[in-house]
Amino acid sequence: MSLASIEDPDAPFGVTNLECDRIAYAAGRGICLRETGGLLSRFEAVLFDSAFRPGATVKLDGNPSRTRISPDGRFGAITVFLTGQAHGYASASFSTKTTLLEMSSGTVVSDLEQFQTWRDGEKFSAADFNFWGVTFARDSNTLYASLWSAKKTYLVGGDVAARKLTVLRENVECPSLSPDNRRIAFKKRVGGDLAPWRFYVLDLATMTEHPLAAEARSIDDQIEWFDDSHVLYGASRGPVDAGGPARAFLLQATSPIVVR
């Protein structure tokens, strides 16, 4: 895991001792998802502090995929592809597990499949539920995530304390809530297997959406907001509301997280 300056991204990176496949960081607490190596693939989440010192370790049941931390550092969310299942959201058959943690201790709070899900005022449940791509609001109790069932994806809004999820919209994957909590950037399925997704932005007040004008490629990533007007994904940065192509922000970088 490396550190880059927002003001001068071309400056030499700072390098930590952590080796991670995906990372999350907020309010002085971080999550490092990684493979432990050996003859058999094993995976773990290592929690770390503001000095990048490792703390509690949580065993994972599959290949790391997504992770986020609430802005106040209270909760963390981890999504894995379960071992033995297809690894990739474009696959016709995959199985995920999304777990919420108390960041102070590494204690498991719940699995999203243990929440009660509601759709159109009625309880909604199916054996094929898969959740992934959690993003937290500023109050840390409100979250958003993707739900897959019967070959459809949904945006769900959640209440951690009430263990409740509500379906808000179809065809939303890997949501990411803006710092001002007004918009969600997400992947929308628009094509076939070769180029299935396009980045979109949803206004939560009006529930209207528009494509991310700066990026027309199909990219499998959970967007990270750079600020309220720009986003990061992979190694690119692009304006949310203006036209023009995206530009490279950091080279040889994945799983970007902005420290606020």
What band does 243 get if pLDDT is binned at 50, 70 and 90?
low
Ramachandran category for residue 162: left, alpha or beta (phi over 0 → left; psi -120 to 50 → alpha): alpha
Each residue of 40-92: pLDDT tens digit? 789 999 999 999 999 999 999 999 999 999 999 999 999 999 955 444 554 55
Q: For residue 169, give Cα distances in angstroms to 44, 118, 143, 147, 176.
A: 32, 12, 14, 10, 15
Name the least confident of 83-92, 112-121, 192-201, 234-243.
83-92
Contact 226, 239 (CB under 8 A): no
Mean pLDDT of the chain: 92
Check whether 217 has a pLDDT greater than 60: yes
Closest CA to 167 of 151, 152, 187: 152
Q: What is the pLDDT of residues 121-162, one digit of tens each?
A: 999 999 999 999 999 999 999 999 999 999 999 999 999 999
What proportion of the chain, given as a percentage, has pLDDT over 90?
Answer: 80
Span 82-105, average pLDDT: 75
Q: Which of 176, 181, 166 is nearest to 200 (CA)?
A: 176
Among 17-21, 39-43, 135-139, 186-190, the range scoring the smallest mean pLDDT is: 39-43
pLDDT reported for residue 5: 95
pLDDT of residue 90: 47
Residue 244 has pLDDT above 80, yes or no: no
* Residue 155: count of CB within 10 angstroms of its CB: 23
pLDDT of residue 192: 85
**How far is residue 181 from each of residues 25, 184, 247, measured CA to CA in Å?**
18, 8, 25
What DSSP letter does each residue of the chain carry, written as one string? Answer: -EE--SS-TTSPPEE-S---SEEEEETTEEEEEEE--SSS--EEEEEE-TT--EEEEEEESEEEEEEEE-TTSSEEEEEEEETTS--STTSSS--EEEEEEETTT--EEEEGGGSEEEETTEE---TT-EEEEEEE-TTSSEEEEEEEETTEEEEEEEETTTTEEEEEEES-EEEEE-TTSSEEEEEEE-S-SSS-EEEEEEETTTTEEEE-TT--S---S--EESSSSEEEETTEEEESSS-S--EESSSS--S-----
| CATH of 2-248 given 1.10.10.60, 3.30.930.10, 2.120.10.30, 3.50.50.60 | 2.120.10.30
